[in-house]
Amino acid sequence: MAFLYSPVTIFILGAVIGSFLNVCIARIPEGLSIVSPASRCPHCQAPIRWYQNIPILSFLALRGRCAACGAAISWRYPLVEALTGGLFVLVVRSFGLSWVGLVYLVFVAALVVITFIDLDHRIIPDVISLPGIVVGLLAALVVPWLTWWAALLGVLLGGGILFLVAWGYEKLTGVEGMGGGDVKLLAMMGAFLGWQAVLPVIFLSSLAGTLVGVPLMLVKRTGGKLAIPFGPFLALGAVIYLFWGQEIIDWYLVTVGMEPRMQLGR
């Protein structure tokens, strides 16, 4: 049993799942099946043998090139595999091999897919976020500190706040500043994390977006206007909150001279 809890074992499992997530990232925006056909080189369409599809290791062994045609393989593939493996280790360390752990393994896997699809295509697929809301609501049945009402309020609060922000920005400027995909994504996060998470996730994602966006605007000299996808920053904020939210809130309350009161559970 100790072997199952080993970080190495969990990382390998996560990397294998990450290999499948790469398929989802590539095919979902195109409306293609994520089950068939089997993995193929995107350049020459040659089937990828099982021994050429070992997470991370095959990329290193092939030196980042297709074995059939020699075309370069994107570094994105091993990155997604390693990222998923690392997130799986964090989930199991925080929640154990349990139903709660399974819930948040599904959650972080969905965030990985959403992040890279949004980076590539500037969309957040409804096929992930909408079922994700339902799964998040059902998760309240097995997560001890997440009541069904807290999850439902999280959906309404998360989706409602971003909807009002997007609506207000468009009314004031005449330009769409935030897509509906971001609204549904935060609603999904509220379902998995509860209503208490919504404002911290917005704050953390906005802070991360500012730290990345402002230097990019200065480098690209866009005059204060730069379109960057917000989904990845929401995903980052949700991950930070999931693993370190209680510690961050406690630190803030102590900093401002208040006694920590809010408990996120676990």
Q: What is the pLDDT of residues 169-222, one digit of tens each?
A: 666 766 665 668 899 999 999 999 999 999 999 999 999 988 887 777 677 665
For residue 63, the model assigns a pLDDT of 85
- For residues 133 and 250, membership in a common domain is answered with yes
Contact criterion met (CB below 8 Å) for 55 and 78? yes
**What is the arithmetic mean of pLDDT over 12-18?**
96
DSSP states along 77-107 = HHHHHHHHHHHHHHHHHHH-SSHHHHHHHHH
Q: What pLDDT score was predicted for residue 9?
A: 94
Residue linked to tokens 């309404």:
156
pLDDT band at 38 (very low <50, low <70, confident <90, very high): confident
Pair (93, 131) in one structural domain: no
Strand partners for 65: 72
Is the distance from CB of 135 to CB of 124 less than 8 angstroms?
Answer: no
The per-residue pLDDT for 225 is: 60
Nearest to 33 by CA among 20, 43, 18: 20
User: Rounded distance, CA 158 to CA 137, Å?
Assistant: 13
Residue 177 has a pLDDT of 58
Give this prediction's pTM. Answer: 0.89
Q: Is residue 143 part of a domain?
A: yes
Across the range 100-109, mean pLDDT stands at 97
Q: Record the tokens describing residue 131, joined without a space.
A: 């079922």
pLDDT tens-digit readout, 208-261: 988 887 777 677 665 556 667 889 999 999 999 999 988 887 776 777 666 665
265 pLDDT tier (thresholds 50, 70, 90): very low
Domain boundary among 97, 116, 140: 97
Q: Supply φ then ψ for residue 85, to 5 degrees.
A: -60, -45
The pLDDT score that the predictor gives to residue 214 is 72
Report the residue count for the chain: 266
Q: Which spans in the chain are helix H?
A: 2-5, 7-27, 57-61, 76-95, 99-121, 126-139, 148-173, 180-193, 198-220, 231-255
Say if residue 232 is in the same domain as residue 133. yes
In a domain, 112, yes or no: no
Rounded to an integer, the average pLDDT of 112-117 is 97
Helix, strand or coil, per DSSP, at residue 220: helix
Which carries the bigger pLDDT value, residue 42 or residue 32? Answer: 32
Quick one: DSSP state of residue 179?
Answer: -
Domain shared by 82 and 191, yes or no: no
- Residue 266 belongs to a domain: no
The verdict on residue 89 lying in a domain is: yes
What range defines the domain where residue 40 resides? 1-97
Between the alpha carbon of residue 183 and those of residues 94, 151, 174, 208, the distances in Å are 28, 16, 19, 18
Same domain, 144 and 245: yes
Asked if residue 74 and residue 36 are part of one domain, the reply reads yes
Check whether residue 134 and residue 252 sit in a common domain.
yes
Phi, psi at 40, each rounded to 5°: -135, 155
Whether residue 249 is contained in a domain is answered as yes
Residue 21 lies in a domain: yes
One domain, residues 234 and 160: yes
Residue ending a domain, choose from 79, 97, 115 = 97
Residues 137 and 226 in one domain: yes
Same domain, 147 and 209: yes
Q: Is 263 within a domain?
A: no
Query: Model confidence over 132-154: pLDDT tens digits?
Result: 999 999 999 999 999 999 999 99
Residues 131, 217 within the same domain: yes
- The per-residue pLDDT of the chain, averaged, comes to 87
Give the pLDDT mean for 153-162: 91
Domain count across the chain: 2
Same domain flag for 254 and 138: yes
- DSSP-derived letter for residue 133 is H
